Amino acid sequence: MSTQAGKLRSADQSISESGLAVGAATDYREGVAPKVLILVPHRLADDRGEAVRKGVRPQADYDSLAAALREAPGGAADILDLNSVDQDGHWLVRFVQRLFGPYWALAALGHRRCRGYDAVFSHSEIVGLPFALMAALRGGPRHVMTAYYLTGKRNALWYRVLRIHRLIDTIFTQAREQYETGRGALFLPSDKLVHVDACGYIDSNFFAATPIPTVDERQICSAGREYRDYETLLRAMADLPDVRLKVDPASPWSLHADELAGVKLPPNVEVCRMEIGAVCRLYAESAAVVVPLHPNPIGAGTTTLVEAMSMGKPVVITQSSDGSFAGRADLEDGQNVILVEPHDVAGMRNAIERLMSDRRLCARVGANARRWAERHASREQWLGVMLRALSGDRPAQHSRHER
């Protein structure tokens, strides 16, 4: 058995209040691992596998899942993305694309191709929900979906009116607020909805293995675009002339506008746009990482947070409305992270100044951050949860057409 599959045998799972059992990952026996079709609503680079092998970019969660399935006895996996839609010439896929757009077209393509697979994994509800609707017409294999947004009026239509969850076997959330919305406002049953505490969808091993060059003790950095509040950070930096800030506001996935486009920057702030994976060098050369956020319901900023913590960097991040970050009790202010209230310029300035002037605090928070990442960002742990769901390993089985 391969190394990856062997790790999955003993991976410790940590998922909260879910319909999936907590325990060791599925012990795959000969011929038991599922054959899975993975739907990813993005345009994926053909050379990403080679870039991962060369160590120049982290491995995406969907590629990691596909690799684990292929390595397990009897398992198989294929990935369809938006490029696959462009390459497919079937009239139905073209018709759906013209009528409803590329995500629905990907769902139609997935539905055409899913025969012969044991399960379909939808990497987002923007493809998972239309796929489930199509499955209502012709049926299909087991369907597992990650849902990033369960808040919003549109979801009331999908889940309360259409009751689309009857056609989905497992719905994963990565944010506590989304899980609570699903259980409360949308009445999703506990055997369908799973909140995953494990942050292993981020390739923390890639960042943990990044060599740390000489650190500029007067430099901090920030990265990302989703719900970023760079205005507050820039105003704080204007009062810290002895501290330098480098920002990479890019994101391969976010649909949010670039807040820094056309903005006049303070003299101690530099915008640098980097290739996927190269942001680790920015983290490495900086004394601390700052993640300024607008209030949001999805735990935005988690990726940057976990990447930086994996490298042992102290992180200043905007807290959620409940005083935590994204409802996580294991992230403690002043211990493994520094929390700041939303839109608090003085608080942001004081947090940065505090880290820059107290090297012992900086080192302690960074060391605790690395320990947190080692415990909560295990990719093997995350893969175990995904594979159990794709194999149908749940404590209670319900018909997907159950009324």
Q: What is the pLDDT of residues 388-401, one digit of tens each?
A: 999 987 533 333 33
Beta-sheet pairing, 338-340 with 244-248: unpaired
The count of domains in the chain is: 2
CATH number of the domain bearing residue 233: 3.40.50.2000
> Domain check: are 184 and 208 in the same one?
no
Residue 312: domain span: 204-376
> Domain check: are 170 and 232 in the same one?
no
Cα angle vertex 145, ends 224, 306, to 5°? 30
> Domain check: are 276 and 319 in the same one?
yes
Q: Say if residues 85 and 60 touch (Cβ distance below 8 Å).
A: no
Is the sign of the CA dihedral 159, 160, 161, 162 positive or negative?
positive
> Domain check: are 215 and 190 in the same one?
no
> Domain check: are 171 and 221 in the same one?
no
Q: What share of the chain is helix, strand, coil (3-state, %, to 5)?
A: 40, 15, 45
103 within some domain: yes
254 within some domain: yes
pTM comes to: 0.87
- State the average pLDDT over residues 350-368: 96
What distance in Å separates the CA atoms of residue 400 and residue 188, rounded to the nearest whole number?
13
Cα-based torsion angle of the residue sequence 150, 193, 180, 22 in order, rounded to the nearest 10 degrees? -140
- State the average pLDDT over residues 229-243: 96
> Domain check: are 48 and 172 in the same one?
yes
403 within some domain: no
pLDDT, tens digit, for every residue of 262-303?
A: 788 999 999 998 888 889 999 999 999 999 999 999 999 999
> Domain check: are 325 and 180 in the same one?
no
pLDDT of residue 317: 98
> Domain check: are 63 and 153 in the same one?
yes
Above 90 in pLDDT, residue 139?
A: no
> Domain check: are 171 and 245 in the same one?
no
